[in-house]
Amino acid sequence: MKQIIHIVGNRPQFIKLAVLYKAIAERGIARQVILHTGQHSSHEMSGVFFNELALPDPDIQLRIDNSDPDLFTATAIRQLQQYLAGAKASAVIIYGDTNTTYAAAIAAARTGQPLHHFEAGVRTGSLKTPEEINRLVADRLSTTHYCCTPNNLQTLRAEGFGTAIRSTPVFTGDLMLDAYLKIPGKETFRIKETSYIGCTIHRAENILIRENLEAIIAALNDIHRQIPVVVPLHPHTQKKIAETGAAVLFRIVAPLGYPEMKAFIKRADFVITDSGGVSREAYFAAKRSLIIMEHPVWPEIIRSGAGLSCSPDAAAILSSFSRLPQLTPDYETAVFGYGNAAQNVCDHLTDSL
């Protein structure tokens, strides 16, 4: 029987995997294997998602230490290559732009496995971020590219994919939209505020560069004086905030599972984030967002009038936040497809396998 290997390691990948895994299972296209690198390994960042999203436990759990990103990547390449060398995969599917994605792309290429990249064609134009390097490598090594937006597809074609570079770019729409439409929200956490700003901060350049993190903390404190700011906080970010010694006025809550996060965003007045996933979830919920990235992952959101982007600078954050109420978003154009990305991927897999 044909075999599809999904290689995942963090929250957004688990969400995308959940809808695609179910669609493939319903079609009976192939036997599926879930390989979890352990990039996110804590229960609140990993286990809870498998439970809530009704995913089976990973078939392969590598549990690689992610405290040092470079060491994680090197170890992941070695262990994934060892596993894939003995696997007979009809397709290896990778998701997004994480170090797990990068390592899996290298390992699949070295072992001659057919590699399918979901969320292909994303570009920010900045090689200062590790995610951009991961995207470029994953796309160059993949044999099939599933694109979330028409812009992603156009980007790949402009780079020669499908012609000079033999591959198959396909516009499928976004699995994150599938998940948003299919998985109901669930408010099981307590937020007493009737009006608040929903915020997430986790991106490496925003938390590992101390001056950036201190600027973000100062800006969030200022905004919190006007309207409550509530931040479900990644444990690594919480550690880095503590290391700064900066006073925190905004409210910190534990990380939220997917249904809770959906309800959290839907209730928020606005969203402030540096996450490509959360910025999309805000767009799906018709919430205007401020994206703390100089080079946003999804410029489609900015162009639609649903968001603004800025650098991790306190004055820039405050100035941009003050402009959010004046935005006039277009939520009608199907920027991320129509919520049938999993079926589109399945159609392609059925034909190609």
Do 59 and 98 belong together in one domain? yes
Number of continuous H segments (helices) and E segments (strands) in the chain: 15, 13
Number of domains in the chain: 2
Pick the more confident residue, 48 or 240. 240
Do 109 and 225 belong together in one domain? no
Closest CA to 312 of 294, 289, 299, 296: 294
Do 104 and 212 belong together in one domain? no
For 84, the domain range is 3-174+337-352
Those residues whose C-beta lies under 8 Å from the C-beta of residue 35, and which sit 6 or more positions away, are 5, 6, 7, 8, 58, 59, 60, 62, 80, 83
Residue 146 corresponds to which amino acid?
Y
332 within some domain: no
Confidence of residue 50 (pLDDT cuts 50, 70, 90): confident
| pLDDT for 236 | 84
348 within some domain: yes
101 within some domain: yes
| 3-class SS string, 145-159 | EEECCHHHHHHHHHC
Each residue of 140-183: pLDDT tens digit?
999 999 999 999 999 999 999 988 777 889 999 999 999 999 99
| pLDDT for 16 | 96
Do 218 and 305 belong together in one domain? yes
pTM summary value: 0.93
| pLDDT for 43 | 45
Confidence of residue 221 (pLDDT cuts 50, 70, 90): very high
| pLDDT for 63 | 87
Q: What is the spatial distance between Cα 293 and Cα 75, in angstroms, rounded to a whole number?
A: 29
Do 112 and 251 belong together in one domain? no
Render the burial of 118-146: b for 16+ CB within 10 Å, e for the rest. bbbbbbbeeeebbbbebbbbbbebbbbbb
Poorest-pLDDT segment among 11-25, 46-60, 200-214: 46-60
156 within some domain: yes
Do 21 and 161 belong together in one domain? yes
Pick the more confident residue, 258 or 188. 258
Do 77 and 146 belong together in one domain? yes
Confidence of residue 47 (pLDDT cuts 50, 70, 90): low
Those residues whose C-beta lies under 8 Å from the C-beta of residue 287, and which sit 6 or more positions away, are 198, 265, 266, 268, 269, 270, 271, 306
183 within some domain: no
Q: What is the spatial distance between Cα 297 and Cα 39, in angstroms, rounded to a whole number?
A: 21
15 within some domain: yes
Each residue of 1-42: pLDDT tens digit?
899 999 999 989 999 999 999 999 999 999 999 999 998 565
Q: What is the spatial distance between Cα 256 and Cα 170, in angstroms, rounded to a whole number?
A: 32
Do 288 and 209 belong together in one domain? yes
Do 165 and 50 belong together in one domain? yes
Confirm if 339 and 178 have CB atoms less than 8 A apart.
yes
In the numeric block, which tokens belong to residue 90?
């009809």
| pLDDT for 234 | 86
Do 303 and 344 belong together in one domain? no
Closest CA to 13 of 103, 110, 85: 103
CATH of the domain at 203: 3.40.50.2000
186 within some domain: no
| pLDDT for 164 | 76
Do 9 and 154 belong together in one domain? yes
182 within some domain: no
Write out the H or E segment, with its range, that includes residue 116: strand 115-118
| pLDDT for 46 | 58
Do 346 and 294 belong together in one domain? no
Q: What is the mean pLDDT of the chain?
A: 93
pLDDT above 70 coverage of the chain, percent? 97
| pLDDT for 67 | 83
